[in-house]
Structure 1
Amino acid sequence: MQGLHALVVEDDPDIASVIEETLAAAGFEVTCAADGRAAVEAARSRPPDLVTLDITLPQMDGIEVLRHLRETNDCYVVIVSARTDEIDRLVGLEVGGDDYIVKPFSPRELRARVAALFRRPRGSVGPDGSSTEPDRPAGSEPDRSADTRSAVIDCGAGLLVDADRREVQIDGKTLDLTRIEYEILAHLAERLGTVCTREEMVSAIWNSPLVHDHHLVDVHVANLRAKVSRHSDRSWLRTIRGIGYRLDRA
């Protein structure tokens, strides 16, 4: 993560200092902003690769900051907040947060979660807000040498998961999914008809032994279900009570 830019948005100077030191030790160049408007301006003047974002901020709250960020930037966003209510998690993740850490937190956990995010493929957002794939040489094709999976997984009834384009379509319409929502659906689609436990999904998607909040899976699945339901009344995603989830062919 050497040379990457992190923006720390936090109005508590002590917490901001801890986050700044943790990210700097991981190799980031760190900029700090103590209020929402300053954060938006900082992101415009130097687009970040990572943002840690408090929700309760002066001038402009963190959710509004996140909305502004997502208009032009697909950077990773880790919400770092003292709010523990489910609605706060739902709103933050729905608007475009990639992860949610509750204060107080350990610097080791923050560093592990950030490292897990950067191990996943990352696209970018153009001026029109559309997603693009990670850069690769012009004219080249995606490298499938280490991946024998079919590029497109047909889940029936018009639901297609395209692994190369990292897109999900229902009846030809592309769903507007966050990275984690896509990862969850792709993980289940690759195991069509098989029950996946929350523990397995956390391990595969967050790829960190320190990410132990299985409730994160439920929050992202709820968001995913809501987006799917806007395009179809079909039901592919099943909850297996006390265990996890399964994607069935409709």
Structure 2
Amino acid sequence: MTEVQDPSTPATEPEGESVEEVRVAVVIEDEDDIRALLSTVLAQAGFEVHGAADGTTGVELVRTHSPLVTTLDVNMPGMDGFETAKRIRSFSSTYIVMLSARTEEIDALQGLEAGADDYVAKPFRPRELRARIDAMLRRPRQVLASDGQEPAADGEWLEHHGLRLNAETRIVSVDGNDVDLTRSEFDILSDLLRAGRRVRAKADLALMLRGDQYAVNDFVSDSDARAIEVHMANLRRKLGESPASPRWIETVRGVGYRLTA
């Protein structure tokens, strides 16, 4: 239905008055009922939602609408969720939430390695999914410039044995070479660099990734702790570090992680 404008209402906003940016989300899901549910959850959160039933169409929707958030099913006909995530991540910094009934560790590992920011098991609770998305949106995301490059470096740099991290521009480099990290990997590394030699438990890191709204609920499940292990394994691989002989991050067995001396 087309909305008819009240003649007494100005056709444009008064000069100097800003218009709030519309938040866009893309839902890529081949099951109609789940796609409708996800669209409803995101619409209630204030998003303009676009849906796709397959990966190829979903990639084009992301390219066209530049969404803030993208939800992505793993098991789809044709191009699966892992390949779809890789293609999206090659040109977009959208937050990717991967949804799957496959809950094995290897599946979560594949999802995170493909560029997902979170991996949620089906069936999921709409309220929990909404909370996870809200928590992600409170974490800074790296925005690419119009030419596809990262913005110029600025702000505080954290350094440790040739590893440099800029919290404002979200740039990481090792011995002068840039390292491409997901948001979760970056946030974990930033947290560890700020902590120095203080040990950060897996539970601490999991709560950090959740966001401030979980401050009153410090329960961390086994899957949360395992997700931290997966992120850490990916982080070390990208940095080129061996867990057996670490240059930057050492494991404190049974507790968590800290910087090397």
TM bracket (short chain): 0.7 to 0.9
Assess, with a 3 A threshold, how the Cα gap between structure 1 residues 180 and 13 changes in structure 2: closer, same or farther.
same
Cα distance in structure 1, aligned partners of 2:229 and 2:23: 31
Number of residue pairs aligned between Structure 1 and Structure 2? 233
Alpha-carbon distance, 1:102 to partner: 0.5
Partner of 1:101: 120
Secondary structure of 2:85's aligned partner: helix
Q: TM-score, normalised by structure 2?
A: 0.82
Q: CA deviation at 1:131?
A: 3.3
- The residue that corresponds to 2:248 in the other structure is 236
Cα-to-partner distance string for 1:12-59 (whole Å, 9 max, x where unaligned): 122112211111111011111111111122222222111000111122
Match of 1:131, SS state, is coil
* 1:245 aligned residue (217, 233, 257): 257
Aligned pairs for 1:1-250 (under 5 A) are 3-126=22-145, 129-132=148-151, 151-156=156-161, 158-207=162-211, 208-209=213-214, 212=220, 213-229=224-240, 234-249=246-261
State the percentage of identical aligned residues. Answer: 41
Larger relative CO (CA 8 A, sep 6+): 1 or 2? 1
Give the stretch that moved more between structures: 122-131 or 49-58.
122-131
Distance of 2:176 and 2:201 partners within structure 1: 30
Residue 12 of structure 2 corresponds to which residue in structure 1?
A: none
User: 3-state DSSP class of the match of 1:214?
Assistant: helix
Partner amino acid, structure 2, of 1:125: L
Kept after mapping to 2: 8 A contact 1:73/1:126: no
What SS does the aligned partner of 1:218 have? helix
Which structure has the greater CA radius of gyration? 2
Tell me what 1:146 maps to: none
Once the two structures are overlaid, the 10-residue window that deviates more, 42-51 or 28-37, is 42-51
Preserved contact between residue 241 and residue 247 of structure 2 (Cα < 8 Å): no
C-alpha separation in 1, matches of 2:69 and 2:171: 22
Assess if the C-alpha contact under 8 Å between 1:71 and 1:129 holds in 2: no
SS of the residue aligned with 1:8? strand
Letter in 2 for 1:39: G
Structure 1 unaligned segments of length 5 or more: list them. Answer: 134-140, 143-150
Give, as a single letter, the amino acid of the residue that structure 1 aligns with 2:180.
D
Query: What amino acid is the match of 1:21?
Result: T
Decide which moves more: 164-173 or 220-229.
Answer: 164-173
Contact 2:142 2:169 in 1 (8 A): no
Distance 2:145 2:61 in 1: 18
Instruction: After superposition, give the CA deviation of every residue in 1:216-238 in whole Å (9 maximum; x if it has no partner).
Output: 1111111001011179x752212
**CA RMSD, Structure 1 to Structure 2 (Å):** 2.4
- CA deviation map 1:88-138 (0-9, x unaligned): 1111111211010001111111001100111011222357653347xxxxx
| Structure 1: distance between partners of 2:81 and 2:146 | 22
Distance 1:44 1:163, change over 3 A: closer
Q: Which segment drifts farther, 160-169 or 122-131? A: 122-131
* Contact kept? 2:142, 2:170, Cα under 8 Å: no
Name the counterpart of 1:137.
none
- The residue identity in structure 1 corresponding to 2:239 is V
* Counterpart for residue 136 of structure 1: none
Q: TM-score, normalised by structure 1?
A: 0.85
Cα distance, 1:214 vs structure 2 = 2.2
